[in-house]
Amino acid sequence: MSAQVRTYTIIFAILLALMGATIFASFHHIGRFNLALTMLIATIKAVLVVLFFMHVWDSPRLTWLTAGGSVVWLLILLGLTFTDYGTRDWKPNPLGTHPVLLPELESPTPQPGKEAGH
Amino acid sequence: MHTPEALSTDDPHGHTGLEFAHHFDDWQQEYQSKSLGMWLFLVTEVMFFGGMFLVYMVYRYQFTPAFDASSRLLNLWAGAINTVVLLASSFTVALAVHAAHLGNRKMLVRLLAATLLLGVVFLGIKAYEYSEKFQPGHQLVPVAGWAFDYHGPEPQQAKLFFGLYFAMTGVHALHMIIGIGIFVYLLWFARQGRYTGGNFVSVELAGLYWHFVDIIWIFLFPLLYLVDRS
């Protein structure tokens, strides 16, 4: 068995073990860490496939840059979208955190008998 | 740019005698250009699937109970077996590329055939899974007036999950079908020895595509089947 074939076999075994680990983890409730853990395992599997099955490990720097670039653009897509969706239920700043702005926040008490404006 | 003397020493694979297209300086340059082109195509594919993963993430974040309950209705073991099948096919592809590098025609043909077989098994299991979702009484098809027999929380939002399930696995299966087509082509010419005379580039590029489709499944499997099984 050549060194190359040995590498592929080891990577294949690791990939199968990680798949077992991710199924095992999904049967145990560990709160919101479930998603983080499964995504971490999936990412490790993807990196192993990219580096060894797709030979990026011993590829020219341009290939590293191209493969890495796809991750960067994907993170921009996901990250910027979640700055919106991930923060929609955030509470507005409670009053008092910006004392200087407080007078501006108070709505003027309506005067009886006077219309707004003139 | 390269003098013939420099070529013969610069070329680590010793491919100086091979034919290359007339608009390239040498074989090595053609090889690197094709490889880069394939990688750039895969980057566009990452963004293509990335859009669907984004929609999935947003809805999962907003409608967690529906996604938890819907995920449990998928056939976990069919998905797990398919993961093993696809990982195994990536393994045979890696070995096939290795056989092409070595110039071993018999080995290459066998490994390409094994990959094809695993690809067909994957699609067969996928078809079985889809047919389960069309069974009367257990129908879970959120489109075109099909029944949606879902009895968990947030039934309207569960339709989003199954819509995404069919869209994402469907587009992935389409990629598998295209991959199988490419590998039938490769197998045909590999038998004639086209790729084992040192010109392994086509096998390598098809291999990159196959591994990419495998990576998509590596993310699809936990996101669709393993949301919360506890």
What tens digit of pLDDT does each residue of A48-66 get? Answer: 999 999 988 888 888 899 9
The mean per-residue pLDDT over the stretch A89-116 comes to 57
Low-confidence winner among B28-37, B128-137, B171-180, B181-190 (lowest mean pLDDT): B128-137
**pLDDT surpassing 80 at residue B223:** yes
The mean per-residue pLDDT over the stretch B39-68 comes to 93
Contact B129, B78 (CB under 8 A): yes
Residue B31 contacts by C-beta under 8 Å, 6 or more apart in sequence?
Answer: B15, B201
| CB pair distance less than 8 Å for B94 and A52 | yes
Q: Which of A14, A12, A21 is nearest to B221 (CA)?
A: A21
B127 near A CB under 8 A:
no
Query: How confident is the model at residue B166, as a pLDDT?
Result: 93
Tell which phi-psi region holds residue B24, choosing left (phi > 0), alpha (psi between -120 and 50) or beta.
beta
| CB pair distance less than 8 Å for A12 and B229 | no
CA–CA separation, B4 and A109 (whole Å):
90
Chain A residues near residue B80 by CB distance under 8 angstroms: 19, 23
- Whether the complex's predicted ipTM is more than 0.95 is answered with no
Q: Which of A9, A26, A90 to mutate to test the interface with B (most CBs of B within 10 A)?
A: A26
Q: Which of B45, B57, B218 to mutate to test the interface with A (most CBs of A within 10 A)?
A: B218
Q: Which of B213, B215, B221 to mutate to test the interface with A (most CBs of A within 10 A)?
A: B215
Chain A residues near residue B228 by CB distance under 8 angstroms: 26, 29, 34
| CB pair distance less than 8 Å for A62 and B36 | yes
CA atoms within 13 A on the CB side of B125: 20
Please give the backbone phi and psi of residue A114, each rounded to the nearest 5 degrees, phi first.
Answer: -115, 135
| CB pair distance less than 8 Å for A54 and B211 | yes
Contact B115, B32 (CB under 8 A): no
Residue where the block lists tokens 């489109």: B143
**Residue B143 parent element (H or E):** none
CA–CA separation, B132 and B226 (whole Å):
18
Mean of per-residue pLDDT scores for chain A = 81
B139 near A CB under 8 A:
no
Q: How many CB atoms lie within 10 A of CB B159?
A: 18
- Chains A & B: contacts with CB separation below 8 Å: 119
Pull the structure tokens for residue A58.
């011993």
| CB pair distance less than 8 Å for A34 and B228 | yes
Query: How confident is the model at residue B7, as a pLDDT?
Result: 37
Most confident of A23-32, A99-108, B163-172: B163-172
